[in-house]
């Protein structure tokens, strides 16, 4: 509603008045944002110049706009280029949608900090709705906050551009390249360009749209770098408008930006843009530090030996010393995962094939060093060629063990790496032995060319809570030691020589994240209930007793997935009944009779081979004899495992879960076998039996499985790889193999619906449950339990507490209707207060 009543605007600050022409920023001085004035402030609180409603407030709190009842809209912008401060130095006292009175305090700011860290403190007050005004104070005079400053003649603005409507044209999806999104300056440039066309032009981000001729409306969209937006236009010049504005948007709207991002994930960097390298997040977080290149070493080795006995003795001694060192490392290893790796290395030292190969070469007259090197390299090459990412990573372990023994044979001293305060380690691939000798207190993060989520460095990084990026282009190996880099694992990027503004922005974000984490930890022991009181069980994914103990200290409410295969891997014989029963019982005792313990039966197969279960080579191991298929083919293995699991019945609320179930017949056979074992042991009560939903066939047939199971647990890691036909360990597909893809969400929805209809509970134990962004969708789809990676228990519980179940239902329905995982992520980011990490490579 516009009237012709004059409206008085008050000074929002005390300070010296200046005309816009003197502002050293052409976007403001040229008045493309709107006409108004500028104040060089002497006070530190920005106040409302008029009564109205706050319609935009930048996240960084450096700019705010207010619309009065008569439609006059005023933008206040504190300082120049202050968006780069990412909120540091600003404290907002109001929120979007709030009604404020003239003179009310809006934003407090730290003038000293801004003066030191931004281009200028000059503050702008602009009438962006376009009404003419007259000045009530003298230019260059000192004014007091709250004094009358402008008289606006409302209702006289120029006629609104009513372009004739025709059919609406859309641009292709465009990725915002600007470091700080479309903030005031690029928004002004875009709006100015849009105004040049006889067409109505809209900018769309997800479901939200803005008039692209209005700076304020564009800013209100709160776009961020990397957001996907679209331009639409209708009217006589719609086509030209789309063409020109597409170009303008991709080029950064007048801001210096790096080459535009495309929607397809880019794994390598072009030579023309060495200041940013892309990769895949193997462990979330960000860190600023100096590059330390960790190159692998090579030595001169004599091929000929000095005698068979002497060389054999040298090899034996090397193997013995390596064994002792690995035992010591295993004992010292801080985390259970590390310890398991060093135990696996000991097994490799005893591998009969490897030893036979080395001995045969020594018998031919070769030196111990030559023989050992040749034997380990030949086996590693074989592993590499088998086409399995997991075996390829075992090849890295083999190479690592090979080097360890070789150095002992050659008497080479271990390299003591001298690390700066905050080192970002860069390597083709890092081996367990290399990282074991490092001072981890000085490591800020890891960057590797090779590797995936299952690589040692990814596991180590996650255990230490350090950011890590894998799958980065080879050119990263050319960075000089000491180069300053910003490792942004969440964004999947390594910034080389980043600007101070970028560093500060990320550090501020990191500080906020740490504060939030501290708060989450303090609340960890409390139940996870939504705002409207809906209880969600948050339990742990574990592989060892130590994990279970840690999960309990972090507020874990049970074990939703015990990966029993960790007991079976990297050994020459299956674990006996007593060893298995001892582990299950120890875990059950820690949990007690009130908590769930979900033991997953052996989930191995082509991709996780067992030395004592010989199997034919499979061209596609992920589609081969995995999980329950293998166990039903070797029923004795499963029967023995059932017996060992049943030994802990009564100590906890025991649940048994079958992996990789595809057919109803598999479930029925396994149940029959379990019932027989229960009868055999004379147990009064059978444990609960459920299945993992990780094969699309099982999700699609969940309505037929539901009556025959006690529960479902959705394995989103495998469900995603099978639904999207993308290998979960493929480094180049890792960013696309995103479990938030709507197709995966639809299968989850179908599973949850079937469970609800038949009164069964449904959990999620794949990595999606550990993604804070996914929490509302999973709750909205009807998931009852989230089984998450141990360190993330407090975070996920805190996420649950932020939502109303009704909101979750609505959001989940909207997510199901999106076209891509990116769109789902964008949708969730706009509704979430949590950080928005990039999709993380899946864990095993
Ligand atoms: C899954 O597939 O999501 C899952 C939890 O099982 P794993 O990662 O052990 O295959
Ligand atoms: Mg799985």
Please provide the DSSP assignment of 423-488 as one string. Answer: EEEEES---HHHHHTS-GGGEEEEEESS--TTSHHHHHHHHHT--EEES--GGGGGSPTT-EEEEE
Q: Which of 712, 786, 796 is closest to 559 using CA atoms? A: 786
Lowest mean pLDDT among 23-27, 316-320, 335-339, 806-810: 335-339
pLDDT tens digits for range 195-237: 878 888 888 887 677 888 877 778 777 788 888 888 888 888 8
Distance 603 CA to ligand 2 centre (A): 8
584-611 average pLDDT score:
89
CB 216, CB 75: distance < 8 Å: yes
Which pLDDT does position 270 carry in this prediction? 33
766 C-beta closer than 6 A to ligand 1: yes
User: How confident is the model at residue 226, as a pLDDT?
Assistant: 80
DSSP character at residue 576? P
Higher pLDDT, 180 or 90: 90
* Euclidean distance between CA atoms 219 and 184, whole angstroms: 7
Residue 72: the pLDDT is 82
Averaged pLDDT of the chain: 84
Whether the predicted pLDDT of 838 surpasses 80: no
CA distance 524 to 795: 8
Q: Is beta strand 688-693 parallel, antiparallel or unpaired with respect to 761-764? A: unpaired
The pick from 454, 659, 699, 790 for probing ligand 1's pocket by mutation, whose C-beta has the most ligand atoms within 8 angstroms, reads 659
Provide the residue count of the chain. 844
Binned at pLDDT 50, 70 and 90, residue 296 comes out as low
Ranges 121-125, 183-187, 258-262, 617-621: which has the least confidence: 258-262
Tokens of 501: 């503004």
Question: In this model, does residue 134 exceed pLDDT 70?
Answer: yes
Q: Please, which pLDDT band fits residue 703 given cuts at 50, 70 and 90?
A: very high
Which pLDDT value is given to residue 418?
A: 72
Closest ligand 1 atom number to CA of residue 765: 5
Q: Per-residue pLDDT for 181 more than 90?
A: no
* pLDDT tens digits, one per residue of 3-14: 456 789 999 999
| Token digits of residue 424 | 């970002």
Closest atom of ligand 1 relative to the 715 alpha carbon: 3
Mean pLDDT, rounded, for 246-250? 86
Nearest ligand to residue 764 Cα = 1
- SS3 of residue 617 by DSSP: coil
> Catalytic site residues?
456, 765
Residue to mutate, 543, 559, 698, 715, ligand 1, most ligand atoms under 8 Å from C-beta: 715
Whether the per-residue pLDDT at 407 is higher than 80: the answer is: yes
CA 842 to ligand 1 centroid distance, Å: 9
pLDDT computed for residue 414 by the predictor: 63
What is the average per-residue pLDDT within 391-419?
76
The answer, yes or no, to whether any atom of ligand 1 lies below 6 A from the CB of 721, is no
CA-to-CA distance for 412 and 297, rounded, in angstroms? 11
Question: How much of the chain exceeds pLDDT 70, in percent?
Answer: 87
By three-state DSSP, how is residue 196 classified? coil
In this prediction, residues 616-625 reach a mean pLDDT of: 85
Q: Does the Cβ of 716 fall within 6 Å of ligand 1?
A: yes
Task: Determine the distance separating the centroid of ligand 1 and the alpha carbon of 600, expressed in angstroms.
Answer: 10
439 has pLDDT over 80? no
Q: Are 362 and 368 in contact (CB under 8 A)?
A: yes
Q: Cβ(563) to ligand 1 under 6 A?
A: yes
pLDDT score, position 82: 84
- For the segment 543-556, the average pLDDT, to the nearest whole number, is 93
Secondary structure of 75-116 in the HEC alphabet?
EEECCECHHHHCCCCEEECCCCCCEECCCCEEEEECHHHHHH
Binned at pLDDT 50, 70 and 90, residue 316 comes out as very high
Instruction: Output phi, psi for 191, to 5 deg.
Output: -65, -40
Nearest ligand (C-alpha, residue 566): 1
At residue 297, does pLDDT exceed 70?
Answer: no
* Block residue for tokens 């300056």: 185
Name the least confident of 278-282, 386-390, 514-518, 784-788. Answer: 386-390
Q: What is the pLDDT of residues 317-367, one digit of tens each?
A: 999 999 998 888 888 765 556 677 777 788 888 887 788 889 999 999 999
- The minimum-distance atom of ligand 1 relative to the CA of 563 is 9
Portion of the chain with pLDDT greater than 90, in percent: 43
Pocket flag, ligand 1, residue 60 (CB < 6 Å): no
Whether residue 666 has its Cβ less than 6 Å from ligand 1: no
Q: Is 717 in the pocket of ligand 1 (CB under 6 A)?
A: yes
718 lines ligand 1 (CB under 6 A): yes
Q: Which pLDDT value is given to residue 837?
A: 44
> What CA–CA distance (Å, rounded) separates 573 from 352?
13
Cα 566 to averaged position of ligand 2 atoms, centre (Å): 13
Other CB atoms within a 10 A radius of the CB of residue 631 amount to 28
Q: Is 763 in the pocket of ligand 1 (CB under 6 A)?
A: no
Residue 608 CB–ligand 1 contact under 6 Å: no
Instruction: Work out which ligand 1 atom sits closest to the CA atom of 842.
Output: 8
Q: What is the pLDDT of residue 842?
A: 44
Confidence of residue 835 (pLDDT cuts 50, 70, 90): very low
| CA of 719 relative to ligand 1 center, distance in Å | 8
How much is the average pLDDT of 824-839?
71
Residue nearest to atom 3 of ligand 1 (CA): 715
For residue 839, the CA-to-ligand 2 centroid distance in Å is 18
Q: What is the mean pLDDT of residues 498-511?
A: 84
Q: Nearest residue CA, atom 7 of ligand 1? A: 844
**Of 47-56, 205-214, 636-645, which has the strongest mean pLDDT?**
636-645
Residue 94, CA distances (Å) to 58, 376, 512 in order: 11, 65, 20
pLDDT digits (tens, 9 = 90+) for 720-776: 999 999 988 776 676 688 899 999 999 999 999 999 999 999 999 998 999 899 999
Q: Note the pLDDT of residue 337.
A: 60
Vertex 152 angle, CA 149 and 154, to 5°: 160
Going from the Cα of 45 to the center of ligand 1, the distance in angstroms, rounded, reads 53
Worst-scoring range by mean pLDDT, 86-95, 452-461, 516-525, 768-777? 452-461
CB of 765 shorter than 6 A to ligand 1: yes
pLDDT of residue 562: 95
What does each C-alpha distance from 438 to 46, 292, 333, 441 come to in angstroms? Answer: 50, 12, 13, 9
């Amino acid at each position: 509603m516009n009237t012709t009543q004059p409206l008085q605007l008050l000074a929002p600050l005390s300070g010296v008045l200046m005309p816009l022409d003197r502002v050293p920023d052409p976007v403001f001085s040229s008045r493309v944002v709107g006409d108004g004035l500028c104040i060089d402030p002497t006070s530190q609180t920005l106040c409302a110049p008029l009564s109205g409603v706050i319609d935009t407030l930048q996240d960084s709190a450096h700019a705010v706009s207010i619309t009065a009842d008569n439609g006059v809209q005023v933008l206040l912008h504190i300082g120049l280029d202050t968006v780069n401060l990412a909120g540091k130095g600003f404290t907002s006292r109001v929120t979007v949608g709030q009604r404020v009175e003239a003179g009310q305090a809006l934003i407090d700011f730290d003038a000293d900090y801004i003066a030191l860290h931004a281009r200028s403190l000059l503050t702008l007050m602009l009438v962006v709705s376009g009404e003419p005004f007259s000045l009530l104070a003298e230019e260059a005079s000192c004014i007091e906050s709250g004094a009358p400053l402008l008289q606006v003649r409302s209702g006289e603005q120029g006629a609104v551009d009513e372009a004739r409507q025709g059919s609406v044209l859309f641009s292709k999806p465009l990725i915002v390249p600007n470091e700080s999104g479309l903030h005031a300056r690029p928004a002004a440039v875009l709006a100015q360009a849009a105004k040049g066309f006889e067409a109505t032009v809209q900018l769309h981000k997800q479901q939200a749209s803005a008039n692209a001729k209005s700076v304020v409306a564009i800013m209100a969209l709160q776009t961020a770098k990397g957001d996907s937006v679209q331009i639409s236009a209708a009217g006589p010049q719609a086509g030209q408008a789309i063409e020109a504005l597409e170009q303008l948007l991709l080029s950064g709207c007048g801001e210096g930006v790096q080459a535009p991002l495309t929607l397809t994930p880019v794994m390598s960097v072009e030579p023309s843009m060495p200041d940013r390298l892309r990769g895949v997040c193997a462990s979330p977080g960000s860190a600023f530090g100096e590059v330390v290149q960790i190159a692998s070493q090579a030595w001169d080795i004599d091929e000929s030996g000095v005698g068979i006995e002497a060389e054999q003795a040298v090899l034996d001694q090397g193997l013995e010393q390596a064994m002792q060192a690995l035992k010591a490392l295993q004992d010292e290893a801080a985390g259970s995962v590390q310890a398991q790796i060093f135990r696996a290395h000991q097994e490799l030292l005893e591998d009969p094939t490897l030893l036979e190969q080395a001995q045969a070469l020594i018998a031919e007259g070769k030196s111990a060093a030559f023989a050992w090197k040749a034997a380990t390299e030949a086996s590693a090459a074989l592993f590499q060629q088998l086409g399995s990412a997991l075996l390829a990573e075992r090849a890295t372990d083999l190479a690592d063990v090979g080097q360890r023994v070789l150095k002992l044979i050659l008497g080479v001293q271990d390299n003591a790496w001298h690390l700066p305060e905050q080192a970002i380690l860069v390597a083709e691939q890092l081996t367990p032995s290399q990282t074991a000798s490092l001072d981890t207190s000085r490591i800020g993060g890891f960057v590797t060319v090779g590797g995936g989520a299952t690589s040692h460095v990814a596991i180590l990084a996650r255990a230490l809570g350090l950011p890590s990026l894998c799958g980065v282009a080879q050119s990263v190996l050319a960075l000089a030691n000491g180069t300053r880099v910003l490792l942004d694992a969440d964004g999947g990027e390594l910034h080389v020589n980043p600007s101070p503004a970028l560093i500060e922005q990320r550090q501020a974000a990191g500080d906020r994240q740490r504060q939030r984490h501290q708060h989450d930890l303090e609340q960890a022991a409390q139940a996870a209930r939504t705002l409207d009181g809906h209880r969600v069980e948050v339990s742990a994914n574990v592989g060892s007793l130590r994990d279970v103990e840690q999960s309990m200290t972090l507020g874990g409410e049970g074990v939703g997935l015990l990966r029993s295969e960790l007991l079976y891997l990297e050994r020459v014989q299956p674990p006996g009944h007593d060893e298995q029963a001892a582990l299950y019982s120890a875990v059950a005792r820690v949990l007690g009779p009130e908590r769930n313990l979900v033991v997953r039966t052996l989930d191995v197969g082509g991709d996780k081979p067992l030395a004592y279960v010989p199997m034919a080579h499979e061209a596609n191991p992920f589609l081969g004899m995995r999980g329950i298929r293998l166990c039903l083919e070797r029923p004795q293995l499963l029967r023995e495992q059932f017996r060992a699991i049943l030994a802990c019945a009564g100590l906890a609320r025991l649940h048994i879960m079958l992996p990789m179930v595809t057919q109803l017949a598999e479930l029925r056979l396994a149940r029959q076998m379990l019932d027989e074992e229960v009868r055999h042991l004379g147990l009064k009560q059978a444990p609960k039996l459920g299945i993992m939903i990780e094969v699309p066939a099982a999700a699609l047939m969940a309505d037929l499985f539901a009556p025959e199971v006690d529960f479902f647990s959705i394995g989103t890691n495998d469900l995603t790889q099978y639904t999207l036909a993308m290998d979960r360990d493929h480094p180049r597909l890792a960013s696309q193999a995103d479990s938030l893809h709507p197709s995966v969400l639809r299968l989850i929805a179908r599973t949850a619906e079937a469970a609800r209809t038949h009164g069964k509970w449904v959990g999620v134990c794949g990595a999606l449950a550990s993604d804070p962004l996914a929490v509302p969708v999973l709750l909205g789809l009807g998931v009852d339990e989230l089984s998450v990676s141990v360190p993330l228990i407090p975070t996920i519980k805190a996420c649950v507490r932020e939502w109303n179940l009704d909101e979750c239902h609505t959001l989940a329905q909207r997510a199901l209707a999106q076209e891509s995982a990116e769109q789902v992520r964008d949708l969730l980011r706009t509704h979430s207060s949590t950080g928005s990490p990039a999709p993380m490579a899946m864990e095993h």
